[in-house]
Amino acid sequence: MIKHCLFPAAGYGTRFLPATKSMPKEMMPVVNKPLIEYGVEEAIQAGMNHMAIVTGRGKHTLMDHFDKNYELEHQISGTAKDSLLTDIRSLIDSASYTYIRQREMKGLGHAILTGKELIGDNPFAVVLADDLCVSQEQGVLSQMVALYNKFRCSIVAVEEVPESETHKYGVIAGEQLKDDLYRVDNMVEKPEPGSAPSNLAIIGRYILTPDIFEHIENTEPGKGGEIQITDALLKQAQQGCVMAYKFKGKRFDCGSVEGYMEATNYCYQNLYLNQNSKSQPKIDQPNKGLSPV
Ligand code: G1P
């Protein structure tokens, strides 16, 4: 069983400046929920209950989000707005949240290695919160956990991207076992245009077996001078097994303005309007004694 989920969340979010100058990019709201909350929901739906968050300087609002806010809760208690906290309260109660600080930004591989103490000798998921994934059926992590239970090896989620986009991703190649499943034999981090081994790009969902930590420790800085998880995974693939899974669902690159806007429109139309027409209070209605904000 996979119980741990790691969220690398120490990055600067430079593509979203100035919004991310003092606010973590993981706290950018898509409609009314921060990005990281969508990731945590997906992990909890997949049966995980240990959230391990790799943070950095200026990221304390992440910790506050997954904690009680007594003053606020006291203030809205008994009013129509109280139910707006139902979902986040349930996430807080359903999992433990532990944090570790990444002091230097040395790449995604380094961020994942920083989380080693929180993960221990367990298989674990990794969620890059700025890739927001939605699915009509099971969440992407649930789909990957089902595969892990079959193959017991590391799995990366992939999607087909146009050739002109491959330079933005880790790109895999391998033997196709099924329509949606590959056994990886090559992986390149952000290949130069025209040199990608395929058009299958890794997106921000991984299941990793704990020996990945040793591979990362033995991985030299690669693309951009950073320690890349893609390079460590290639070693793991060469010595054992790594699968690439074409997930069912839709993924939005919320690290880009375009992807973020698309995600916002999609979530507003498909999630927020549906849910809130039934269960949420209309907050412009007169409420019971709530102080003005
Ligand atoms: C990271 C990984 C890359 C992966 C991507 C998915 O890159 O290094 O292999 O394809 O996430 O979002 P980043 O987007 O952090 O530059």
CA–centroid distance, residue 180 to ligand 1 (Å): 20
Q: What single DSSP character describes residue 28? A: -
Burial label for 17, CB within 10 Å (0-12, 13-18, 19+), is: exposed
Domain ranges of the chain: 4-256
Q: Is the CB of 111 under 6 A from ligand 1?
A: no
Residue 279: band (very low, low, confident or very high) from pLDDT cuts 50, 70, 90: low
pLDDT at 280: 52
pLDDT at 57: 85
Q: Which helix (H) or strand (E) holds 35?
A: helix 35-45
Q: Is the CB of 189 under 6 A from ligand 1?
A: yes
Is pLDDT of 278 > 90?
A: no
Is pLDDT of 276 > 80?
A: no
Ligand 1: atom nearest CA of 229 is 8
CA–centroid distance, residue 186 to ligand 1 (Å): 16
CA–centroid distance, residue 181 to ligand 1 (Å): 20
CA–centroid distance, residue 204 to ligand 1 (Å): 7
Residue pair 168/259 in contact (Cβ under 8 Å)? The answer is no
Q: How much is the mean pLDDT over the chain?
A: 92
Q: Which helix (H) or strand (E) holds 99?
A: strand 96-101
Q: Is the CB of 10 under 6 A from ligand 1?
A: no
Q: What single DSSP character describes residue 178? A: E
Q: Is the CB of 230 under 6 A from ligand 1?
A: yes
Residue 51: band (very low, low, confident or very high) from pLDDT cuts 50, 70, 90: very high
Which of 41-55, 127-141, 279-293 shows the lowest per-residue confidence on average (mean pLDDT)?
279-293
Q: Hey, how many other C-beta atoms are within 10 angstroms of the C-beta on 188? A: 23
How large is the C-alpha radius of gyration of the chain? Answer: 20
Residue with tokens 């944090």: 99
Residue pair 130/26 in contact (Cβ under 8 Å)? The answer is yes
Tens-place pLDDT, residues 69-94 = 999 989 998 898 988 888 999 999 99
Q: Is the CB of 157 under 6 A from ligand 1?
A: no
Tokens (6 digits) for 9:
């969340």
Residue nearest to atom 15 of ligand 1 (CA): 108
In whole angstroms, give the CA distance from residue 137 to residue 140: 9
CA–centroid distance, residue 191 to ligand 1 (Å): 12
Tens-place pLDDT, residues 209-218 = 999 999 999 9
User: In percent, how much of the chain has pLDDT > 90?
Assistant: 80
Q: Please name the residues in contact with 86: beta carbons below 8 A apart, sequence gap of 6 or more.
A: none
Q: Is the CB of 170 under 6 A from ligand 1?
A: yes
Residue pair 169/176 in contact (Cβ under 8 Å)? The answer is no
Please give the full DSSP string across 226-262, using - where no structure is assigned: S--HHHHHHHHHHHS-EEEEE-SSEEEETTSHHHHHH
Residue nearest to atom 9 of ligand 1 (CA): 170
What is the per-residue burial (b if ≥16 Cβ within 10 Å, else e) of 268-288? eeebbeeebeeebeeeeeebe
CA–centroid distance, residue 30 to ligand 1 (Å): 20
Is pLDDT of 219 > 60?
A: yes
Tens-place pLDDT, residues 170-208 = 999 999 999 999 999 999 999 999 999 999 999 999 999
Is pLDDT of 232 > 80?
A: yes
Angle at 253 between CA 249 and CA 256, to 5 degrees: 160
Q: Hey, how many other C-beta atoms are within 10 angstroms of the C-beta on 135? A: 16
Is pLDDT of 293 > 50?
A: no
Ligand 1: atom nearest CA of 130 is 12
In whole angstroms, give the CA distance from residue 247 to residue 269: 22
In whole angstroms, give the CA distance from residue 148 to residue 109: 21
Which of 19-23, 174-178, 222-226, 262-266 shows the lowest per-residue confidence on average (mean pLDDT)?
19-23
Residue 194 backbone dihedrals phi, psi, to 5 degrees? 85, -5
CA–centroid distance, residue 51 to ligand 1 (Å): 20
The CATH classification number of 4-256 equals 3.90.550.10
pLDDT at 136: 85
